[in-house]
Amino acid sequence: MHPFLFLFMALSGSLCAQTIQLSGTVLDKETEMPISFVHIFTKDTKTGTVSATDGKFSLHIPATLINTYLYFSTVDYEIDSLLITRTNVSTTIYLTPRLYALNEIYVIPDSTLLTLLRRAYTTIPENYPDQPTRYVGFFQESTSDENGNLSKLVEAELVVYKEPYNRIREAPGQIEILKSRIKQLQSSNIGFVGGAFMPVTLDIVLQRNNYIQPQNMANYQYDFIEIKSWEGRDCYSIQFRPVSRDSANITGTILIDKETHAYTLFELFLERPENAHAILGIMKPVEQKSKIVYEQLDGKWYLKSVSTRSKHDNRRLKSPLFSSFDYITTQVQTDSVTPITSPHRFKQIQSRRFQFQTD
């Protein structure tokens, strides 16, 4: 048995003890269409998840939180809540679209836009932690078929250690799994494990991805869209795309805080149709949507959440498979933070292997 799988099975009982399972679907109140990437969390923020592309969600809530509220939050919709009771087995949540007052129209010349993008990059040491930080967060990953039938669910509580953001590092972070569980709902010859390193690998600011580095901006087309309100703050909304097929086939939206010039959100879409023809190795996604969110605490910006939704289509599969990864930060520590000791450290090389693979 793989040691990582054994870890999940060994610790599953502690995670499930004295909990109630709550599942449901989040829909637009006006259109009744599903809403993805909705952040769903308890008042103490220690338990949470994110809705899938079909709006569905499922999580285990400690019985001690009965008669408190579960909150639903996402951009462009009003925050809503649900009273947690023992009868909450499956439910539908309707979110009301948020109405924004129109701001004055801004027009930013290309040269000014590039100056803004460079400014956001050069102020990373000012806006993000300049000392090691320790995160505690909730992690969930799942696999489903093209009909939305869930085949595997993994949940875990993680400790995330991160080096300071003031410069690029070869090994910028570490992961420890505090407790976890795995639930196999359908038999399959396709293994799906991994992703626990995503709070580090998908932290765009920490990793300094190509599309935010000034020296690589000539490879992308940037377009200013609008001034957008995000979590009560005005942000520059900027879209980008590669200028040639030789560049990585990734497009997306960047929100930059108007006051501090900090990155507050990334929404990314990656297409890799060539992965459908891979014969050997890891079965990588042919499409992937990602959302990375930061929030400000005591004058610095920290990773709040990461979500990905991927489609895996390959000649080795009878039909496409879909995977999701979600991470939500519940605690941040900045004082007296030390690296995770070796016996408890989850190795990054393991995380890279923990993806779709055939038996």
What are the CA-CA distances from residue 325 to residues 49, 54, 71, 165, 172 (Å)?
A: 10, 14, 20, 24, 20
Would residue 152 count as lying in a domain?
Answer: yes
Q: Which two tokens stand for residue 263?
A: 């990155």
Output the pLDDT for position 141: 87
Q: Which two tokens stand for residue 20?
A: 């109630």
Cβ atoms 188, 151 nearer than 8 A: yes
The H or E element spanning position 13 is helix 3-16
Q: Which domain holds residue 127?
A: 110-358
The 10 Å CB-count burial string (b at 16+, else e) for 34-61 is: bbbbbbbbbeeebbbbbbbbebbbbbbb
Shortest CA distance to 238 belongs to which of 219, 218, 259, 258? 258
Q: Which two tokens stand for residue 154?
A: 């993994």
For the chain, report the end-to-end CA distance as a whole number of angstroms: 13
The residue-averaged pLDDT of 165-174 equals 92
The residue-averaged pLDDT of 236-242 equals 94
Residue 39 and residue 178 in one domain? no
Residue 21 and residue 151 in one domain? no
Would residue 105 count as lying in a domain?
Answer: no
Q: What is the pLDDT of residues 73-104, one digit of tens each?
A: 887 788 888 888 877 667 899 999 876 555 55
Using the predicted structure, report yes or no on whether residue 36 has a pLDDT greater than 80. yes
Would residue 223 count as lying in a domain?
Answer: yes
Would residue 103 count as lying in a domain?
Answer: no
Output the pLDDT for position 258: 94
Residue 185 and residue 128 in one domain? yes
Q: Which two tokens stand for residue 216?
A: 């690589």
Residue 114 and residue 81 in one domain? no
Exposed / middle / buried, residue 86 (Cβ in 10 Å: 0-12, 13-18, 19+): exposed
Using the predicted structure, report yes or no on whether residue 274 has a pLDDT greater than 90. no
Residue 287 and residue 233 in one domain? yes
Q: What is the pLDDT of residues 174-230, one digit of tens each?
A: 999 998 888 776 665 554 445 789 999 999 999 999 999 999 999 999 999 989 888
Residue 88 and residue 206 in one domain? no
Using the predicted structure, report yes or no on whether residue 359 has a pLDDT greater than 70. no
Across the chain, mean pLDDT equals 82
Would residue 104 count as lying in a domain?
Answer: no
Shortest CA distance to 157 belongs to which of 350, 328, 340? 328
What are the CA-CA distances from residue 320 to residues 147, 149, 268, 288, 314 (Å)?
A: 10, 12, 21, 13, 7
Question: Domains in the chain: how many in total?
Answer: 2
Residue 88 and residue 122 in one domain? no
Output the pLDDT for position 15: 42
The residue-averaged pLDDT of 135-158 equals 85
The residue-averaged pLDDT of 295-319 equals 89
Would residue 173 count as lying in a domain?
Answer: yes
At residue 262, the 3 state secondary structure works out as coil
Q: Check residues 38 and 215 and name the one with the higher pLDDT.
A: 215
Residue 115 and residue 258 in one domain? yes
What are the CA-CA distances from residue 175 to residues 43, 45, 47, 116, 218 (Å)?
A: 25, 20, 19, 33, 34
Would residue 100 count as lying in a domain?
Answer: no
Tell which of 95, 126, 161 closes a domain. 95
Q: Which two tokens stand for residue 116?
A: 């803004």
**Alpha-carbon gap, residue 43 to 34, rounded angstroms:** 24
Q: How confident is the model at residue 131 (pLDDT cuts 50, 70, 90)?
A: very high
Tell which of 53, 70, 95 closes a domain. 95
What are the CA-CA distances from residue 235 to residues 184, 205, 211 (Å)?
A: 42, 17, 18
Output the pLDDT for position 338: 94
Q: Which two tokens stand for residue 250?
A: 């990734």
At residue 16, the 3 state secondary structure works out as helix
Residue 165 and residue 231 in one domain? yes
Output the pLDDT for position 54: 86
Q: Which residue has the tokens 């990953």?
A: 141
Would residue 57 count as lying in a domain?
Answer: yes
Tell which of 95, 123, 147 closes a domain. 95
Residue 168 and residue 260 in one domain? yes
Residue 84 and residue 115 in one domain? no
For residue 49, give the CATH number of its domain.
2.60.40.1120
Output the pLDDT for position 357: 30
Cβ atoms 301, 128 nearer than 8 A: yes
Residue 247 and residue 352 in one domain? yes
Q: Which two tokens stand for residue 337?
A: 């933070």
Using the predicted structure, report yes or no on whether residue 240 has a pLDDT greater than 90. yes
| pLDDT over 70 percentage in the chain | 83
